[in-house]
Amino acid sequence: MAVHVMDEANRCLQCKKPRCREGCPIHTDIPEMINKLKKAQVMDAAQMLFANNPLSIICSVVCNHENQCEGHCVQGIKGAPVHISAIENYISDSCFERIRIQMAPPNGKKVGVIGAGPAGITIAVILASRGYKVTIFEGHDKIGGVMRYGIPEFRLPKTVLDRYAKKLQELGILVRPNFNIGGSTTIHDLFNDGYKSVFVGTGAWRPRRLMIPGETFGNVAYAINYLNNPDVYHLGERVSVIGAGNAAMDAARTAIRHGARDVTVYCVTEKPAASPKEVEYAMLDGVQFEYLKTVTQIKDNSVISCPVHWEDGAMVKDESQSEEIPCDFVIISISQIPKDRLVTVEHELKLSDKGTLVTNEHGETTMPGVFASGDVVTGAKTVVEAVHLSKKIADDMDKYMQGLLD
């Protein structure tokens, strides 16, 4: 292990007002986690972490720690922050199989969860522990959603998600894979079969288009499609990545690992939207960055690129300075919106102008008894944000099914 977790734990000052906790979107009790580790109460620490965040192992790996817990750690003011993510990962990973979740007696009520991504798994775990009989409907053959099909293996090994699949089984949660609600089976069918409430956590899988000539060519992929299964793409040697968020970094770094020699990221701002660490690793991998530049046309073996500048918040292209850059393959990564068939065919589910599901403050959609959270509501966000929002929605679904929701 590169970081010795006890050395890091010993650097924690056990602050009375822990800034690390404030910086964590899900308010993990970091000083208490470290305190328990130092007292060799590792299982207790793991139980506490799982109860607060069922996806603790995953968040310890994929969160943007330098902007969250570690970015707020008081030790970081004059030196290096405590390596909180390594500590959390050690505890959660080493204890995961032994974690015992306190289960309420079965209450005889069925819940349907559509989508086995971060939001769906969180809802399923919480409601199963409260006595509900949960069935997850998942369009892919395995659970994980964007964590399995959108985050590359070198960042998040799929074995972690396989361990979660076993944990769901242990909790009595049924998973129905390769099955989409919104096709031959509708949400109404679930209610007719006695489900008391339904949760929609189908994510954001429809790539946003650039709307430039050449976008339909065979040498083009959207990042979300490319990351789903990079082995099936023939990239060639020169790859252009349009967009500079975390998914763009994942796509660029994956392309390098799949044989591309010359990978260039086009970023329309001076600073990429991706977290600084992801950008740093992309640079270490050999990815080149073109700042304040975009691509205006894709050709069979090249792209047309031009500089941009910003006026009153609007991007202006300087097309008189366009140049043609040789390129074998283009990956477009400028965000995603929900695309699941369910949200487009189930007309009682109202969509916002952005294509996300409309919900009230309890997470209830415009269809009575149907709740939603995660990317299908917020647009593409982080795993920890999906878990944080879903915890509250699980409480509200619980109240709804007990007839206690106002």
Q: Which residues sit at the interface with ligand SF4, rule CB under 6 A? A: 12-15, 18-20, 30-31, 73-75, 82, 84
| Complex with ligand SF4: residue 34 or 330, whichever CB lies closer | 34
Q: What's the DSSP call for residue 356?
A: P
What is the spatial distance between Cα 263 and Cα 113, in angstroms, rounded to a whole number? 39
Strand partners, 262: 238
Measured from the CB atom, the residue of 92 and 254 that comes closer to ligand SF4 is 92
Closest contact distance (angstroms) between CB of 88 and ligand SF4 is: 11
Instruction: Report how far residue 151's alpha carbon sits from residue 279's, in angstroms, rounded to the nearest whole number.
Output: 15
Q: Compute the residue count for the chain.
A: 406
For ligand SF4, the closer of residues 9 and 274 by Cβ is 9
DSSP 163-203: HHHHHHHHTT-EEE-S--BTTTB-HHHHHHTTEEEEEE---
**Smallest separation, CB 7 to ligand SF4 (Å):** 13
Beta-carbon count within 10 A of 43 CB? 15
CB of residue 30 vs ligand SF4: minimum separation in angstroms? 5
Q: Are 331 and 194 in contact (CB under 8 A)?
A: no
Tokens at 322, concatenated: 């366009």
Question: How far is Cα 340 from Cα 349, in angstroms, rounded to an integer?
Answer: 12
Judged by beta carbon, residue 10 or residue 169, the one nearer ligand SF4 is 10
The two three-digit tokens of residue 372, written as one number: 């939603």
Cβ atoms of 118 and 145 closer than 8 Å: yes
| Of 80 and 315, CB closest to ligand SF4 | 80
Q: Which is nearer to ligand SF4, 75 or 129 (CB)?
A: 75
Task: Provide, rounded to whole angstroms, the least separation between the CB of residue 188 and ligand SF4.
Answer: 49
- What does residue 220 show for φ and ψ, rounded to 5 degrees? -130, 140
Inter-helix orientation angle 84-95/30-38, to 10°: 60
* Residue nearer to ligand SF4 on the CB measure, 75 or 335: 75
CB of 59 to ligand SF4, least distance (A): 16
Determine the Cα–Cα distance for residues 358 and 29; give it in Å rounded to an integer: 32
> What minimum distance in Å lies between the beta carbon of 24 and ligand SF4?
10
Q: Min. distance of Cβ 5 from ligand SF4 in angstroms?
A: 13
